[in-house]
Structure 1
């Protein structure tokens, strides 16, 4: 009887922990959604209390130093924690089912810090005055954000943001290997998600020096992240991914690939 009770207690405790992991993953995903939506307003300069061209104004050197530090912090956290070597070490501390959710949580927190502490940098480099032209540029930026979001669903949105992992864990099911599949935009460009970000960051009817710094910094990070990510993809999928690199351009659909 005592042995049975202990087994029941362990089963109950295990079920509670799986439910707790599911709640944690859901909350992390909710935070991501809030930060993602704020990012759109922050970059486009619309609908949010603080955007890329508003906020505390410091002397130029101080503002530049803070902005560069924020960009560097995001790059190190976002790319470093995504590497397989880091994951192997990290999952000795953080349980594997919530590893991705924790990554999403920390990435969202670093982005929120960037939005909060970003310093505007003058002057304006260009400012489109014609209303119709501004609408066209804004529409291009919106298309970039839509490309980002739709690309996540094509490659499994809920895997990317940790929800599937905690859901399967809550059901006491193993997380399966992800097959290499080419769908939709990925038939024309290897990284449509990054292409969407680049479009969203550069399509600005008003371009300040601070916005330019953000666009240049994030684009530089994208180019570095692609090389690191593709190294991991080759390690995971081997010749299948090498063949994909040979056939499909990296970022610009009209250019022949250069892996």
Structure 2
């Protein structure tokens, strides 16, 4: 019994530490992909990428000072795409599950967060090429960055809501450990056939919102074009929702909203409604 308790405590500790690391990485990624692109314009500071000179594209694209950062950035994007795709292959997942057991999902999100950390910290801005568009001149410099900020804020709010629908604890690998410690097995096995069908082929449930965040920027530099283009292409390749999936997601959204509205109300026995119990009842 002590060995089982120690094993459960160890798994729970690893899952919690992994959750903190992944959550912190997500916050940094939001700052990197979204607010850093518009922050300087809103506060009135100098833009992160310097104003381009009068050189044309033909000259800029032959400059090593432009090509070297682009090559580094492309390699970082390739590293993330390989990690995020290779570890999602079913045969690879089976092998990882044989090694890490219930921590397989946690290992996947950990390596994803690690790849994002490398991408964020080693990303090279292109400072010696023209902008594709630039709102640094009046009157665009005043209201367009603010409009982009509002759009980004709304998109991240929608993304957060969608993540809640998809069960954030399970996406992060925490629910798998919790169910394992209680002897309940895999959380996915307790879901309905419609939910299992959705999870079997869905890769990126926030396709539209992320694409808006990628492209809705007041200034589009060459490295931002590379980032937005590659990630948009990658998201497009992994987007496979159909009508049945949208119907299921709509039903789940209404169920979650109903659950949140009833969570503060007393249950039939005078006790608060259990969110854990309700989450097990998938449509």
TM-score band, normalised by the shorter chain? Answer: 0.7 to 0.9
Superposed CA offset, 1:149-178 (max 9, x none) = 211111111111111111122333312313
Distance apart, 1:146 and its partner CA:
1.8
User: What is the root-mean-square deviation in Å for CA atoms of aligned residues?
Assistant: 2.7
Distance apart, 1:83 and its partner CA:
2.2
Q: Which residue number in structure 2 is paired with residue 66 of structure 1?
A: 72
In the superposition, the TM-score normalised over structure 2's length comes to 0.67
Q: Does 1:175 align with 2:165?
A: no
In the TM superposition, 1:28-177 aligns within 5 A as: 28-43=18-33, 44-45=35-36, 59-95=65-101, 97-121=102-126, 122-128=129-135, 129-176=140-187, 177=189
Q: Output the CA distance in 2 between the equivalents of 1:180 and 1:53.
A: 48
Stretches of structure 1 lacking an aligned partner (at least 5 in a row): 1-10, 183-189, 231-241, 249-259
Q: Is residue 204–residue 235 contact of structure 2 (8 Å, CA) maintained in 1?
A: no
Structure 1 residues 47 and 99 mapped into 2: Cα distance closer, same or farther (>3 Å)? farther
Q: Is residue 155–residue 213 contact of structure 2 (8 Å, CA) maintained in 1?
A: yes
In the superposition, the TM-score normalised over structure 1's length comes to 0.73
* Of 170-179 and 105-114, the range deviating more from structure 2: 170-179
> Deviation above 6 Å: which 4+ runs of structure 1?
245-248
Q: Which residue number in structure 2 is paired with residue 213 of structure 1?
A: 226
Structure 1 residues 243 and 200 mapped into 2: Cα distance closer, same or farther (>3 Å)? closer
Q: Which has the greater radius of gyration?
A: 2
Q: Output the CA distance in 2 between the equivalents of 1:124 and 1:13.
A: 61
Q: How many residues align?
A: 211
Structure 1 residues 246 and 12 mapped into 2: Cα distance closer, same or farther (>3 Å)? closer
Q: Output the CA distance in 2 between the equivalents of 1:117 and 1:155.
A: 31
Q: Is residue 66–residue 118 contact of structure 1 (8 Å, CA) maintained in 2?
A: yes
Q: Output the CA distance in 2 between the equivalents of 1:167 and 1:174.
A: 9
Stretches of structure 2 lacking an aligned partner (at least 5 in a row): 41-46, 50-63, 196-202, 249-283
Q: Output the CA distance in 2 between the equivalents of 1:219 and 1:33.
A: 23
Q: Output the CA distance in 1 between the equivalents of 2:106 and 2:245.
A: 29
Q: 3-state SS of the aligned residue for 1:226?
A: coil
Distance apart, 1:106 and its partner CA:
0.7
Q: Is residue 148–residue 194 contact of structure 1 (8 Å, CA) maintained in 2?
A: no
Q: Is residue 69–residue 124 contact of structure 2 (8 Å, CA) maintained in 1?
A: yes
Structure 1 residues 247 and 29 mapped into 2: Cα distance closer, same or farther (>3 Å)? closer
Q: Is residue 205–residue 239 contact of structure 2 (8 Å, CA) maintained in 1?
A: no
Q: Does 1:200 align with 2:213?
A: yes
